[in-house]
Amino acid sequence: MSATTIAVIAAIATAEVLQAIAVGLKLRHLHARIAAIAETAGRDYLTGIAGRRGLHDTHRDLTIAGTPPGVLLLDLTLFKDVNDTFGHDTGDDLLSAVAARLHTVATTLRGLAGRLGGDEFVLLLPHATTSQQLMDAAAVVRQALAEPVTIDGAPDPLTVSCVIGLAPPTATPVPGKPFRTADIALYHARHHRQTHAIYQPGMTYPTAADRHGARLRDQRPAPPVAVFDTTRFQHLAAGDVSSDVAHPDDIAELNSLLEVLDPGSRDFGTDVHDLLSRCVAHGAMRYRDPITDVSVHPTTVGEARDGGFLLLVHLDNAVTVASDQIHPRMFHQRPHAADLVLTDIAETVCRVYDTYRAHTTTPQRPR
């Protein structure tokens, strides 16, 4: 065999080897690309947290593993107004900020946060399987979203509020629609002007005849009759206010009260009464007509106080409406207990008033 023939064969072999290497590299790159696409398909493109597919897959996997999660579905209130006022870029930034806070909450609660789409988010909570655990989780979510969000494009920090639907694992989901029961609970919360609702057997969507007009989520709710200003409260506690707002002695008394505020104490209800009085005096808790005042009434078991309390909501028509008992256990071992208590008080006042108004304005059937 001539030297020329050998050289040609060697050249051909070298070319084939190089081509095989090139094909191998392309295949490896293609597999990596496919894996990346498969991973990102489960994530929301805007916020980076889990998307609809990722939420469905995770719910399915947890259920198959024998640990079906509690579901928390939330819908931002009046998010459309942000888009209409400041533009969609600002709206997108707000959604991303909300997603980041929900991701932090979900991580703390050993769950998963995701975005279904639009302004709807879901938390899957394998360790929140009872109604009380889900309500505690809802309180943590509301607290996380209470701090106003600073967004480029909005001249002032944006206040975020939401309505929450909760579904424990015992609320058997519709096959292929794992969030249907939480969505029904969310509808009921909006319909009854509540901050949250837990799915109960027998709950359904409204009939077609009841759906005429704008969707509930697009209706502008009445301003709340009680508002807890988290930012002002934090400024008060930090002493970052002028003497016209609060005297240094008032700030010192407030901080002394915060140091002893303990949900495990029998004096918890009394301390909450004092805390609420100071917040009202310095503008961190505000009431709107027809609410004239709210007082805290510590509850007792036998001869001793149990640390819980009732709210007595006083209206301008000389009517006083009492809330259900607020149990101290819902604030146990929670960071920022004072913020949670005051947030819950504002929401309870709104709920008590809405219930009273619904009862007094319901037409009576003729006898």
- pLDDT of amino acid 352: 86
Q: Is residue 11 part of a domain?
A: no
All residue ranges of the chain with pLDDT < 70 are: 1-41, 172-173, 206-222, 301-305, 333-335, 361-367
**76/159 Cα distance (integer angstroms):** 11
**174/277 Cα distance (integer angstroms):** 47
Alpha-carbon distances of 40 from 51, 58, 94, rounded to whole Å: 9, 14, 21
Domain boundary among 168, 185, 218: 218
Q: What is the tens place of the pLDDT at every residue in 143-160? A: 899 888 888 888 888 888
- pLDDT of amino acid 19: 65
Q: Is residue 213 part of a domain?
A: yes
Q: Is residue 267 part of a domain?
A: yes
pTM: 0.55
Residues 124 and 243 in one domain: no
How wide is the angle at C-alpha 327 spanned by C-alphas 322 and 328, nearest 5°? 130
Residues 233 and 321 in one domain: yes
Residues 214 and 73 in one domain: yes
- pLDDT of amino acid 171: 73
Domain boundary among 193, 218, 243: 218
What is the side-by-side order of every strand in the sheet holding 320-322?
A: 291-301, 304-315, 320-322
Residues 69 and 210 in one domain: yes
Counting runs of H as helices and runs of E as strands, what totals does the chain give? 10, 10
Q: Is residue 124 part of a domain?
A: yes
Phi-psi region of 74 (alpha: psi -120 to 50; beta: other; left: phi over 0): beta
Residue 120 belongs to domain with CATH number: 3.30.70.270
Residues 210 and 293 in one domain: no
- pLDDT of amino acid 218: 46
**336/342 Cα distance (integer angstroms):** 10
CA pseudo-torsion sign 243, 249, 250, 252: positive
Q: Is residue 43 part of a domain?
A: no
Q: Is residue 171 part of a domain?
A: yes
The continuous run of DSSP H or E covering 255 comes out as: helix 248-260
Number of structural domains, the chain? 2
Residues 317 and 356 in one domain: yes
Residues 68 and 213 in one domain: yes
- pLDDT of amino acid 306: 72
Domain extent for 255: 226-361
- pLDDT of amino acid 334: 67
